[in-house]
Amino acid sequence: MTVLEQLESRQETLWINPKLRPVQPRDPINGYGFVYMKAAQNRFMRFLPYIASAFPETREKKGIIESPLIEIAAVKDWMNSQGADNESQGVNTDSQGAGIRGRVFLKDDARLPIAGSIKARGGIHEVLKIAESLAQSARMLKPTDNYGIIDSDRFRDFYSGYTIQVGSTGNLGISIGRSAARLGFRAIVHMSSDARQWKKDLLRSEGVIIKEYDGDYSQAVAQGRRESEADERSFFVDDENSEDLFFGYSTAAMRVSVQLRKLGIPVDQDHPLFLYLPCGVGGAPGGITFGFKQMFGRHVHCFFAEPVEAPCMLLGMVSGRHEKICVQDIGLSGRTVADGLAVGRPSGFVCRMMEEVMSGAFTVTDEKMLLYQKKVEELAGLKLEPSACAGFAGLYGLGKAALKKGCKDSIVESSWKEYIDKYELEKYMDQATHIVWGTGGGLMPE
């Protein structure tokens, strides 16, 4: 079967990017270089006094919005042991174990303050850039000022004359809505039917206006864009095309590089780094991939994870049609328990940025995401939402492919083996580092 046929039949699959090129650190990617990521990081740094003042949960870290990098050896051991319960939960097993080698970490972005998800990086960055630009244009703020002055009635009154809008399945809405409303903006979040009720309730409790739609994510984005364009004092955060979101996400690479250094973990030819990144429209995993390629070049291997019913990025890339194709075009519903990944059409901007740097993409069933969600809580004590657990399917698949004997090749395992062989990684797997990106769930109600 071709990859497209596997997608159509809702089979789990892995697509290996045939255009992947061996970029070096600081190499421009599609015309964008390190300076874009650095500018976003510098903006976060300028806003530290404001963030620490406006959001008490960040004061201990002086306004830094960051999450822990947690080694999850127990989850690795569970995957390698392949207990008998797995088969009844929908995980294909064999008696030989998964063969995951190297160290396994969870990047726990569910613990990011303010938003409780990866969207805190990109979403808050774009809101801060809008706020900074408006205040500087009004000559209320200079780059040399202490940005703590923004947390005041004077600035809130000024921002109240402007609106920030966004279309979202939930998490980006929380990031944009909470940060914009706290600054004083009129905040409007256009939410698709996939969004969870608790996310809507949380935003409404903080004065954010919620507009709901029976259709999917793309409808919410399109309507939000139209309404914002009709108001000259409104800014639309465009998840499908925003560079400011993208480079806000990319700053994660700078932070994780410091965390790895503190742990004494190198990233080089002998010590490859694998990232497993849950993907909706593509902005967050795309930005992170860009950032890590800027830091580590060809020694980092970035794979996107998507639900079998909503593999929009994989479809856009394998077809070559990018944003001009959606999952409904091949008979898929776009409906999934992973609401943060319930996206039918990918970002064209991200597709073009990723053409030569993402290693590949894979799909995962809802059943497996729920199983991984359960086991991560049981074994590591970490609460994640289902979408944040999609990346574990990649870790599992790569582990099975790395097994030297007793492994029955499936389509997925054969593709993982193809990747390992093509880039001559087998001899380095014992020194590899794996990071599964836990993208959200920190604000989930009990």
Q: Report d(CA 98, CA 407) in Å as an integer.
A: 9
Q: Which of 88-92, 230-234, 249-253, 381-385 has the lowest mean pLDDT?
A: 88-92
Q: Report d(CA 356, CA 17) in Å as an integer.
A: 8
Q: Report d(CA 204, CA 394) in Å as an integer.
A: 36
Q: What is the mean pLDDT of the chain?
A: 92
Q: How many residues does the chain have?
A: 446
**Helices 283-296, 34-46: inter-axial angle, 10-degree rounding:** 110
**Helices 283-296, 119-137: inter-axial angle, 10-degree rounding:** 90
- Residue 374's beta-bridge partner residues? none
CB 92 within 8 A of CB 365: no
Name all domains of the chain by residue range, CATH numbers in brackets: 3-34+66-114+246-438 (3.40.50.1100), 120-240 (3.40.50.1100)
Q: Report d(CA 435, CA 433) in Å as an integer.
A: 7
The tens digit of pLDDT for each residue in 181-217 reads 999 999 999 998 778 898 999 999 999 999 998 877 7
What does each C-alpha distance from 151 to 181, 187, 223 come to in angstroms? 12, 17, 31
Strand 186-191, strand 209-212: pairing: parallel
The tens digit of pLDDT for each residue in 323-339 reads 999 999 999 999 999 98
The tens digit of pLDDT for each residue in 221-261 reads 889 999 999 999 999 999 889 999 999 999 999 999 999 99
Burial profile 113-129: b = 16 or more Cβ within 10 angstroms, e = fewer: bbbbbbbbbbbbbbbbb
The tens digit of pLDDT for each residue in 111-169 reads 999 999 999 999 999 999 999 999 999 999 999 999 999 999 999 999 999 999 999 88
Q: What is the average pLDDT across 71-90? A: 70
pLDDT of 403? 62
| Residues with Cβ within 8 Å of residue 31, at least 6 apart in sequence | none
pLDDT band at 81 (very low <50, low <70, confident <90, very high): confident
Closest-CA residue to 115 (of 224, 253, 221, 237): 237
pLDDT of 97? 47
The tens digit of pLDDT for each residue in 347-380 reads 999 999 999 999 999 999 999 999 999 999 999 9
Q: How many CB atoms sit inside 10 A of residue 226's CB?
A: 12
- Residue 209's beta-bridge partner residues? 188
Proportion of the chain above pLDDT 90, given as a percent: 84
pLDDT of 230? 95
pLDDT band at 87 (very low <50, low <70, confident <90, very high): very low
Q: Residue 395 above 80 pLDDT?
A: yes
Q: Residue 410 above 70 pLDDT?
A: no
Residue of 97 and 222 predicted with greater confidence: 222
